[in-house]
Amino acid sequence: MTAFPTIGRILGLSTLISLPSAVLAAGALEGEVARQPTNWTAIGMFAVFVVLTLFITKWAAGRTKSAADFYTAGGGITGFQNGLAIAGDYMSAASFLGISAAVMASGFDGLIYSIGFLVGWPILTFLMAERLRNLGKFTFADVAAFRFEQTPVRMFAAISTLVVVAFYLIAQMVGAGQLIKLLFGLEYWVAVVIVGALMMIYVLFGGMTATTWVQIIKACLLLGGASFMALMVMSAYGFSFERLFAESVRIKTDIATGAGQAPEEAATAGRSIMGPGNFVKDPISAISFGMALMFGTAGLPHILMRFFTVPSAKEARKSVMWATVWIGYFYMLTFIIGFGAITFVLTNPGFLEGGVLGAPLIGGNNMAAVHLANAVGGNVFLGFMSAVAFATILAVVAGLTLSGASAVSHDIYATVIRKGHADSAAELRVSRITVLALGVVAVLLGIAFEKQNIAFMVSLAFAVAASANFPVLFLSLLWGGMTTRGAVIGGFLGLISSVVLTVLSPSVWEATLGNEVGSAPFPYTSPALFSMTLAFLGIWLFSVTDKSRRSQIDKAGYVPQQIRSETGIGAAAASAH
Amino acid sequence: MLDPMLQRIASDPNYHELRTRRLRFGWLLTIAMMIVYYGFILLVAFGKQTLATPIGSGVMTWGIPLGFGVILFTIIVTAIYVMRANREYDDLTDRIKREALK
């Protein structure tokens, strides 16, 4: 393993610095974690999940013959199934453990964070979902490049997809390693290799069909487990929020008193969990971060790809409706679970370092939900929830890998290199080679980044999705005046500015690169407000000033594109391709 | 320029009705969602005290039902759009298709 830290050094990243904010940690499972004793119950339950999903993969492999089967499960998923799969694709282990930990630490602030992750879904529903379904075949680039010159727009979309997938994937791999070290007591690298290997098997052999079912099963297990925990917490307080909150405030006050605060201060600290705290540093950061989450959701390539797995616009709409229901319900549960962790975990010396009240949780604050599982359901339920957390990571990384592979094989290989003349078998072969390559790279990067501060990575993935993918996709659907030149220049402006501004922001400049606190050239939490604006302005400016011959074709293509996007006429033929 | 079938759809009043109705309703709900969400964020930024004010004599503050309210609003507007679209827009689309493919 000695080669890996060098990669970190070449990239100029310093060793782990724990961010003070629990809310940031919610993005990417952060912080030092101690290896726990090997948990055989958890490993046994996880083994059951693996065996079940491998059987599904075997069944799916038999049905994965063409490129369409591989990318879209043949387009035969129902809206309800797809809604669960989208929820399974979206609810990461980091958001389950991270948000419940954030709620335990600072109460209300955790709720602000989870609301941000939910509000992108209506936007996706109202303006994009059914049009996407009617225009697209395998990837969101099919839609973004529909009426434009294929090569430049596809290249942009593929690069942007790979950037989003890379950051999201690294965050998940590092999270997986940390989590499994914690939950199962396995070595970090063993955990990363297991995740990488299983993800490759699912995607390689089972394609979208296996990925979809892994996501559906994971969503059911996670929602079921989280519901049980929330139910146990609420039943302990006679299903009264007032009693749960009152008890939580009392406990937080006691902890503050125990830390030597004066009664007045302690009471304020206790009550602080019931209102906004330090989540919002300044209004610009708040708006900008909100925009990254809202519009990033509508630009995540692995989520957009799921809309091509359903047979019609109607099913596409049902998909987002169910996805929104499940994800919204899930975030309500994490809020209750976070408060449950205050009353059940923070008061139980058995879960605290050294058994002292007020001490950090054994294994770090991200263990809040895991210790709560133990508190309300005993060791067997603890094993169950640990296995669910592992399954959750697998479902997310499988979706990401499939989306990265499709960008390479469908957008770059089949469309740009072979100019649309690649046969289905060759395209499938390239997909599978890419899956292998992505799997190996993801494992290596996961190991290389073990001790790095990667809290910024999920927010960066959302910022890029909001600033590059979303503006191009959105305007290509709704603005007839857009041209190839506008799409490519504006898209790249959004992509580059969101990455550069993130590097210059405190979460990378100070927390990861180790520069002095307060020295970050870009002072805000998220670049989205600026980089999204730049992308929209860029697309507009370079489209309206575009007098090329190609711009005529681009604009003339809008009416036929619109007819197909609104009515679906011609769409069925395309997905049967 | 356009092929005859697309030409027929482009001049079909049903098609225009579908497009304007869907776009108007979609934007209306989008704007409502943005007002609710960014209103909430601005309240968090500028009205911390308001959100932290207890509702009654207990510990429950205005912030919590409001936060849960935003989550419920998100789910409800999505459901409203989908239910209306699945009833109304698909009927119109079918009519347009029948006309076009005659």
Positive or negative: CA dihedral A166, A168, A170, A172? negative
The pLDDT confidence band at residue A144, using thresholds 50, 70 and 90, is confident
Distance CA A344, CA A365 (A): 14
Q: At what angle do helices A470-478 and A150-183 cross, to 10 degrees?
A: 140
Check: CB of residue A533 under 8 Å from CB of residue A468.
Answer: no
The pLDDT confidence band at residue A16, using thresholds 50, 70 and 90, is very low
Q: What share of chain A is helix, strand, coil (3-state, %, to 5)?
A: 75, 0, 20
Phi and psi torsions of A361, nearest 5°: -70, 150
- Contact between A118 and B44 using a beta-carbon 8 Å cutoff: no
> Residue A115 is nearest to which of B18, B53, B70, comparing CB atoms?
B70
Is B2 in CB contact (< 8 Å) with chain A? Answer: yes
pLDDT at A69 over 60: yes
Q: How far is B45 from chain A (nearest CA, A)?
A: 6
pLDDT at A457: 84
pLDDT at A431 over 80: yes
Distance CA B53, CA A240 (A): 19
Phi and psi torsions of A476, nearest 5°: -65, -30
- Contact between A245 and B60 using a beta-carbon 8 Å cutoff: yes
Residue A549 token pair: 């011959």
Distance CA A491, CA A476 (A): 11
| Total number of domains constituting chain A | 1
Neighbours of A2 (CB within 10 A): 5
B31-45 pLDDT, tens digit per residue, is 999 999 999 999 988
From A325, which residue of chain B is nearest by alpha-carbon distance? B75
State the residue range of the domain holding A461.
Answer: 3-575
From A127, which residue of chain B is nearest by alpha-carbon distance? B26
Distance CA B17, CA A69 (A): 36
- Contact between A249 and B68 using a beta-carbon 8 Å cutoff: no
User: In chain B, where are the structural domains located?
Assistant: 15-101
> Could you say which residues from 30 to 59 on chain B have a Cβ atom under 8 Å away from some Cβ of chain A?
30, 33, 37-38, 40-42, 44-46, 48-49, 51-54, 58-59
Contacts of A130 in chain B (CB under 8 A): 85
Choose among A348, A400, A428, A466: nearest CA to A173: A400
Q: Which residue has the higher pLDDT, A187 or A223?
A: A223
pLDDT at A35: 62
Choose among A567, A313, A480: nearest CA to B16: A567
Average pLDDT over residues A388-415: 89
Distance CA A251, CA A147 (A): 60
The pLDDT confidence band at residue A20, using thresholds 50, 70 and 90, is very low
A257-299 pLDDT, tens digit per residue, is 988 888 888 988 888 899 888 777 788 888 999 999 999 999 9
pLDDT at A453 over 50: yes
- A412 CB-near residues (< 8 Å, 6+ apart): A154, A155, A158
Neighbours of A549 (CB within 10 A): 6
Positive or negative: CA dihedral B18, B19, B22, B24? negative
pLDDT at A33: 57
From B56, which residue of chain A is nearest by alpha-carbon distance? A242
Residue carrying structure tokens 């999903």? A53
- Contact between A125 and B78 using a beta-carbon 8 Å cutoff: yes
For Cα atoms A557, A558, A559, give the angle at the middle one, nearest 5 degrees.
100
A330: which DSSP letter?
H
A488-510 pLDDT, tens digit per residue, is 999 999 999 999 999 898 888 88
From A273, which residue of chain B is nearest by alpha-carbon distance? B52
Task: Give the CATH number, domain containing residue A261.
Answer: 1.20.1730.10
Distance CA A38, CA A543 (A): 59
pLDDT at B2: 63
Distance CA A314, CA A310 (A): 9
Check: CB of residue A345 under 8 Å from CB of residue B91.
Answer: no
Q: Which of B21, B42, B74, B83 to mutate to test the interface with A (most CBs of A within 10 A)?
A: B74
